[in-house]
A and B are shown apart, each in its own frame.
Chain A
Amino acid sequence: MSPVASSTSASDVLVIGSGAIGAAIAYYCTRRGLSVTVVDSGAVGSGTSSQCEGNLLVSDKEHGPELDLANYSLKLWQGELSEHSHLWEFENKGGIIVASQDSSMASLQRALRVQREHGIRVEEIDVAELKRYEPNVTDEAVGAAFYPDDSQVMPMLVTAHLMRMAAEAGARIWPYTEVTGFLRGGENVLGVTTTRGSFWADAVINAAGPWGGQVARLAGVNVPVEPRRGYVLVTEPMEPKVFRKVYAAEYIDNVGSSDGGLQSSPVVEGTPAGSILIGSSRERVGFDTTFNPQAVQQIAANAVKLFPFLAETRILRHYFGFRPYVPDHVPVIGPDPRAPGLWHACGHEGAGIGLSVGTGKIIAQAVAGEQTDLPLEDFTPARFDELSEASA
C-alpha cells in the first residue's frame, strides 16, 4: 500500500469510518458493482466496534423507525447473511428481561403490550419458566419476558469479515488515514482531504460513529452525534452458566434516557469462548478516557444482584467504548440535502452492530439509485437544525 493517495484517487463511494457500519456499507456497495474506498483515522474497526458487546436486539426497541431497522437487519442476519453466521459467531440465543420487583414487573408488562402490538415477538414467563431458561438467576425474580429474536454476534469479527469480503470485491481500505476536510464544488461535496491526500467520490458517507458529529461539522452541517461512554466487564472463562442475554427490567428505561449522568443496569451474557460479558453503563462525558471506578462498581453490584454466583467470579478486564448518541435516539441515515454528495450513516447509539447490515444495505440501495427497502425519510439528517455559530 502506498503511503499517499494518488491525486486522481476517485471512486463511486467513499466511506469515512471502518467500523461495523462502514464495513456493511462497503460490503453492500461492492455487491452493487460500485467502486468503494474506506478511510479510517485508526486501524480497521478500532473504534466503537471493538469496544462493545455485539447486540442484535429487539427487546430494547420501541415502535418506530429503529424497530423497523432492527427487524429488517435481523432478517438480513438470519437470511442472506446466514451462510457467514459461523464467521462472526452469530447466536440466536434469545433475550430475557428479568423483573425483581413487582413495580418493575408492572412496567415491563406495560412495555410488552406495546411491543407486541408492533409485532415484536415476546412472551411473558413466570419464575419457574425463567429458572428453566436461567437456573442461576436471582431468587428475587418475580417474573420475566422472553424475546426469542434477540441475538448476538462477535462485533470485531462482523466488522473484519464484512470488510474482508468488501476488499475481495475490490474495495480499497485506508486505515490510519484521517479526514481533515471536504473537497467542495460550491455546495456540493466532491470528496475528502485526508492526512494521506485527497480522495474524490460521487458519494461520501459519514460512518464515523461517535465521531460522526465532528465529521459533519467539518462539512459545515449539524448532525448532533455525541459520544456516550459505556463500560463492559469481562469475567474469567468458565463453563456455561448464563445461557441467554439477560437484562434487568430497568434496562429499557435507560436506553431511551437522555440523562447525561452515570446510569447503569445489568446486561449479562455468556460467550462461546467461556467468559461472561457484563454491561453496561451509560454516561455522557465526551471522549474522556479516564477510568471511572463508579461505573465499574455499579455494573458489578447490579450484575451480582441479577446472578448471585457472579460474586465469586473474577473479572479479568474491563473496557469502555463510545456509543454514538443522538438526542432523539433515531439513527441518522441518508443523503444530507444541506451538503449534496454527503451522506450519513451514524448515530446508532448502543445498537450499531445489530443495525449495521440493514443500514449498509439501504444506503447501498439508495446510492445505487434503487428503491430502498426502508424509507430513508425516517432517518433523515435534515431533521436537525442548521449548525449554529456556537457549535461550529
Chain B
Amino acid sequence: MSQTVTVTVDGEEITTEAGRTVAAALMLAAQRPAWRRTRFDHDRRGLFCGIGVCFDCLVTVNGEPALRACLIPAEEGMVIETSERGARGE
C-alpha cells in the first residue's frame, strides 16, 4: 500500500501511490484537473466518463499517442506527455 511509482509528466517527475491510473496520477499527484486541449477551441479536458468510453482524457505514453489515461495503470518510469503541453492528444 505504501509503495510509490514515479512517472514523468510533460518532463516533470511526479511520484504517486502505486495502483493509480495515469488519470488519477495526473489529478491527485500532479494536481492537474485537465491535461488535454481540444483541437478546435483549445478547450481544457480531463477525466469525464472515467471508464474508457468518451476518449476525453487522451495522453501520449512512452511515445504512443492517443491513449485513454483513465485505463492505463501508472508504472515506474512511464513518460507521459499531454496535449496541454504540446504533445499530440488528438
- Direct A–B contact in complex, judged by CB atoms less than 8 Å apart: yes
Q: What total of chain A residues lie within 8 Å of the partner, measured CB to CB? A: 6
Judged by DSSP, the binding face of B is loop
Q: Which residue of A lies closest to B58 (CB)?
A: A236
Compute how far the CA of A237 lies from the CA of B89 in the bound complex, rounded to whole angstroms: 10
Within A119-176, the residues touching B (CB, 8 Å) are none
Q: Which residues of A contact B39 (CB under 8 A)?
A: 237, 274
Instruction: Enumerate chain A residues within 8 angstroms of B90, measured Cβ to Cβ.
Output: 236-239, 274
A236 touches B88 (CB 8 A): no
Task: Determine whether A75 belongs to the interface, using a CB cutoff of 8 Å to chain B.
Answer: no
Does A116 reach chain B (CB closer than 8 Å)?
Answer: no
Q: Which residues on B sit within 8 Å (CB–CB) of A239? A: 88, 90
Q: Does A118 contact B (CB under 8 A)?
A: no
> Contacts A237-B39, A274-B39; is A314 near B66 (CB within 8 Å)?
yes
Name A297-349 residues within 8 Å CB distance of B.
314
0/1 interface trace, chain B 56-90, chain A, CB 8 Å (1 if under): 00000000001000000000000000000000101
In the complex, which residues of chain A have a beta carbon less than 8 angstroms from the beta carbon of B88?
Answer: 238-239
Determine the chain B residues whose CB is within 8 A of the CB of A314 once the complex forms.
Answer: 66
Q: How many angstroms between the C-alpha atoms of A128 and B39 in the bound complex?
A: 31
CA distance A232 to B90 in the complex (A): 21
Question: What separation, in Å, do the CA atoms of A177 and B90 have in the docked complex?
Answer: 41
Residues in B neighbouring A237, C-beta threshold 8 A: 39, 90
Known contacts A237-B90, A239-B90, then 8 further A-B pairs from the complex at CB < 8 Å, ordered by chain A residue: A236-B66, A236-B90, A237-B39, A238-B88, A238-B90, A239-B88, A274-B90, A314-B66
| B residues at A contact (CB < 8 Å) | 39, 66, 88, 90
A-side residues, CB < 8 A to B, are: 236-239, 274, 314
11 pairs, A vs B, C-beta closer than 8 Å: A236-B66, A236-B90, A237-B39, A237-B90, A238-B88, A238-B90, A239-B88, A239-B90, A274-B39, A274-B90, A314-B66
